[in-house]
Homo-oligomer: A and B are copies of this chain.
């Protein structure tokens, strides 16, 4: 889980191939040039501008490591990672994201096999950090950005980390469902939905009614606000959830 600090041994990375997936030209160019500086000459870099193509390139070349941006057309980086890890579990996936949304951490955490190596780099990371992450993943270790590590700790804390059950109802109220509609969707009773919601509100730190000051907040909307700001909800996911038939 820890990172290999930049050991000064000329830092040359010697692998067969690497796949880079990002929909923005400029990001790909930057990363390609950065990697080229540190790779041996006979390494090929393959580029994809969407998740679908990334998946195909990985199938074709079976690289030890693949860089995935999260926001991509056709197939998101997370979904690509899911397919990749299902077919080739030993692939080292390095997520390269703009945002530190908790939801991505949640998803990824379930995707990666216990002994798998993966990386999580934010786009404001330094060049050195990206190189460190690449080396770590190639060596079978994980490299996770400090900000992401903080989020992981939060999800693992019993008092603040949401269970799957709580997350399910959060998704439903984020779509805008009533309790009744949510119950129908999840095949549970309305009372169960409310019980889950109550836990959710507590974990998000919403003050219970009657406590201290006047009841200033609508719990349901307040939960959406806090979830939003924690990155448990975001625009892309909202659109995604509604499309699905479940």
Seen from chain A, the residues whose Cβ lies within 8 Å of a Cβ on chain B are 23-24, 26-27, 30, 98, 123-124, 173-178, 180-181, 214-226, 228-229, 231, 234-235, 238-239
Does the CB pair A217–B26 fall under 8 Å?
no
The verdict on A225 contacting B174 (CB below 8 Å), with A30-B26, A123-B24 known, is yes
Does the CB pair A235–B228 fall under 8 Å?
yes
Does the CB pair A177–B235 fall under 8 Å?
no
Taking CB atoms, residues of chain B closer than 8 Å to A27 are: 26
Total copies of the chain = 2
Task: Give the one of A173, A214, A220, A225 with max B CB within 10 A.
Answer: A225
Taking CB atoms, residues of chain B closer than 8 Å to A219 are: 176
Q: When chains A and B are docked, how far (Å) is the Cα of A228 from the Cα of B220?
A: 16
Taking CB atoms, residues of chain B closer than 8 Å to A226 are: 176
Q: When chains A and B are docked, how far (Å) is the Cα of A107 from the Cα of B96?
A: 31
**Chain B residue with the shortest CB-CB distance to A175:** B225
Taking CB atoms, residues of chain B closer than 8 Å to A225 are: 174-176, 238
Choose from B174, B218, B238 the contact partner of A176 (Cβ within 8 Å): B218
The verdict on A178 contacting B217 (CB below 8 Å), with A124-B24, A224-B224 known, is yes
Does the CB pair B181–A216 fall under 8 Å?
yes
Task: Give the one of A174, A181, A216, A221 with max B CB within 10 A.
Answer: A221
**Chain B residue with the shortest CB-CB distance to A176:** B222
What are 10 A-B contacts defined by CB distance under 8 Å? A24-B124, A176-B219, A176-B223, A176-B224, A177-B216, A178-B216, A178-B218, A181-B217, A229-B235, A231-B235
Q: Tell me, rounded to whole Å, the shortest Cβ–Cβ distance linking A142 to chain B.
A: 25
**Chain B residue with the shortest CB-CB distance to A173:** B221
Q: Tell me, rounded to whole Å, the shortest Cβ–Cβ distance linking A230 to chain B.
A: 10
**Chain B residue with the shortest CB-CB distance to A30:** B26
Taking CB atoms, residues of chain B closer than 8 Å to A217 are: 176-178, 181
Choose from B24, B181, B221 the contact partner of A224 (Cβ within 8 Å): B221
Q: When chains A and B are docked, how far (Å) is the Cα of A178 from the Cα of B178?
A: 17
Taking CB atoms, residues of chain B closer than 8 Å to A177 are: 216-218, 221
